[in-house]
Amino acid sequence: MEAACTKSFPPFLDYKTEKYVLTKNRRIGVFHRLLQLGVLCYIVGWVFIVKKGYQESDNDPHISVITKLKGTSVTKGFRELQERLWDEADLVKPSQGENVLFLVTNFISTPGQELGVCPESPTVLDGRCSEDSDCAEKEPVISGNGIKTGKCNTTHFTCEIYGWCPAEESQPIRKIPINEAENFTLLIKNDVHFSRFHLSRSNTKQTSDTTYFKSCTYDPVSAPYCPVFRVSEMIREAGHSFKELSVLGGVVGVDIRWNCDLDQPGSTCKPQYTFRLQDVKNNFRTATYYWDQDRHQYRDLLKLYGIRFEISVTGEARKFGLVPTAVSLGTGCAFLGAITLLCDLILLYLDSKADFYWDCKYEKVKPPKGQEATEPNPEQNLE
C-alpha cells in the first residue's frame, strides 16, 4: 500500500516537517538569549516607545502664515537733519502678510538725486582715475553708480559718470537711529491642516475678547496661544541683542513646529517656537521718486539696513494604526528568526564540534528493507 501511494502521488504533494534538536551548548545558548534580549529591547524600547511605531503619521500639513508688524519711530538725519516719522508702512519690506519680512533698523540717505553728470564716489575702486584714458566712454562702473563719460575729474580723481547725481557716498553708519524698533511687536498667525486625519490647528487663542491680541505677548507658559512677539525678545532668543544687529542688520529664522500626538489629549497639540541667527549683515536700496514744479524728476535714495525674519512651519501628526503596528511586529519576528538562523550557522560551520551537530540536525533516513532502488549494472548491459 505504501509503495503504491509513493508511486501514484507526485513529489510536490509530500509533506515536510521540521525536526528540532535541543543542543546543550552553553556558549551558543547565552549568545542566542542575549541577541533575543537585544531585539526585544529594540522593538519595545526604540520602535514602540521612542519612535511610536504603532502609529501612522502625516508630516506634510497644509500651512498658511500671516505676519503683521506694529510700531512707530521718529528719526533725524533725513534731508539735512529733518525729522521723519517711520511706521510699519515704511519699516517693513516687502508688504506685510508674507512669511518673510524685512524690518528697517538703520539707513543711509542720499536725498535730492537727479539724472545728470557728476564725479563717481571715491570709495568705488573701478571709478578712480588719474587721466581721461582711465575712463573708457560708455563703460559701466563696476559696483558703481552710473556710466563713464570718458572724462576724469581731477578734483576727486574719479571718473565722471552719467547717472543719478550726486552719487551715493559711503557715509558713517548711524548707531541705532530707529531706537524704538526693538519694542515693535510682530504678529505671526499660523494655521496648519493635517489632511490625513482631517485635523486643523491654529496658534491663536479661540476667544471672543477682541482686545486680547492687542494686549497679550507670547509666553510659553502663561500665553502659549498669543501670536504676538516682541522683536527684542525674538532676537534675544536667537542668542543676540537688538543693538548688535540694528547697525548692519541680520537674518533671524523663526521655526514653528507642530508635534501632535492624537492618542493624547488635544491640549498637547500646540506650536513650539525656536529662533536662530542665520546672518549678521543685511541691507538693500530703495528710492522714492518725485517731480518739482518744472517737471524735473528727482529721487531720494535710501540704503536700508535691517533684520530679515524668515518664518518656516513644519509639523507631524500621529495616531494609532493597525498597519504600522503589524509592520513593526512583523519586523520584530523577522529579527528573531534571523537570530536563530545565525546561531545555526555558527553551530554547524564554526563550532569545533560542527560535524557532530550536523549529524544530529540532519538525519539521513534509509528506506525499509526490500524497497531499495536497484540500479542497472553497466557490465550486464554490455553483454
Is a pLDDT exceeding 90 seen at residue 134? yes
Helices (H), 114-222: 212-215
pTM, to two decimals: 0.73
How is 5-44 classified by DSSP, letter by letter?
HHHHS-GGG------------HHHHHHHHHHHHHHHHIII
Query: pLDDT, tens digit, for every residue of 293-351?
Result: 888 999 998 888 889 999 999 999 999 999 999 999 999 899 988 988 888 888 888 87
Query: pLDDT, tens digit, for every residue of 187-214?
Result: 999 999 999 998 999 999 888 887 888 8
Grid-cell match 534509509, residue found: 366
Q: What is the pLDDT of residue 383?
A: 42
Q: What is the pLDDT of residue 177?
A: 62
Coil, helix or strand at residue 113 = strand
Coil, helix or strand at residue 298 = strand
- Helices 322-345 and 26-41 cross at an angle (nearest 10°) of 160
Identify whether the C-beta of residue 58 lies closer than 8 Å to the C-beta of residue 195. Answer: yes
Most confident range, picked from 68-72, 106-110, 126-130, 205-209: 126-130
Q: Which of 83-89's residues contact partners 24+ apart within 8 Å by CB, and which partners?
A: 86/178
Is a pLDDT exceeding 70 seen at residue 81? no
User: Which has the minimum average pLDDT: 93-107, 145-159, 195-209, 322-336?
Assistant: 93-107
Is a pLDDT exceeding 70 seen at residue 275? yes
Q: What is the pLDDT of residue 365?
A: 63
Q: What is the pLDDT of residue 171?
A: 64
What mean pLDDT do residues 99-128 have?
89
Helices (H), 212-321: 212-215, 231-237, 242-246
11 falls in which pLDDT band (50, 70, 90)?
A: low
Query: pLDDT, tens digit, for every residue of 47-63?
Result: 888 888 888 989 889 99
- CB atoms < 10 A from the CB of 268, how many? 11
Q: In the chain, what are the helix, strand and coil shares in percent, each to the nearest 5?
A: 30, 35, 35
How is 311-338 classified by DSSP, letter by letter?
EEEEEEEEEE-HHHHHHHHHHHHHHHHH
| Helix H or strand E segment including 88 | helix 88-91
Pairing of strands 271-279, 62-70: unpaired
Give dist(CA 282, CA 195) in Å, integer.
38
User: Which has the minimum average pLDDT: 3-7, 96-100, 353-357?
Assistant: 3-7
Supply 151's cell numbers: 572724462
- All domains of the chain, ordered by start, with CATH? 2-53+321-382 (1.10.287.940), 62-120+167-319 (2.60.490.10)
Distances (CA, A) of 302 to 53, 107, 284: 56, 6, 8
Angle at 32 between CA 31 and CA 36, to 5 degrees: 115
Q: What is the pLDDT of residue 75?
A: 67
Is a pLDDT exceeding 90 seen at residue 162? yes
Contacts of residue 197, Cβ cutoff 8 Å, sequence gap at least 6: 58, 262, 317, 319
Closest C-alpha to 200, from 260, 274, 265? 260
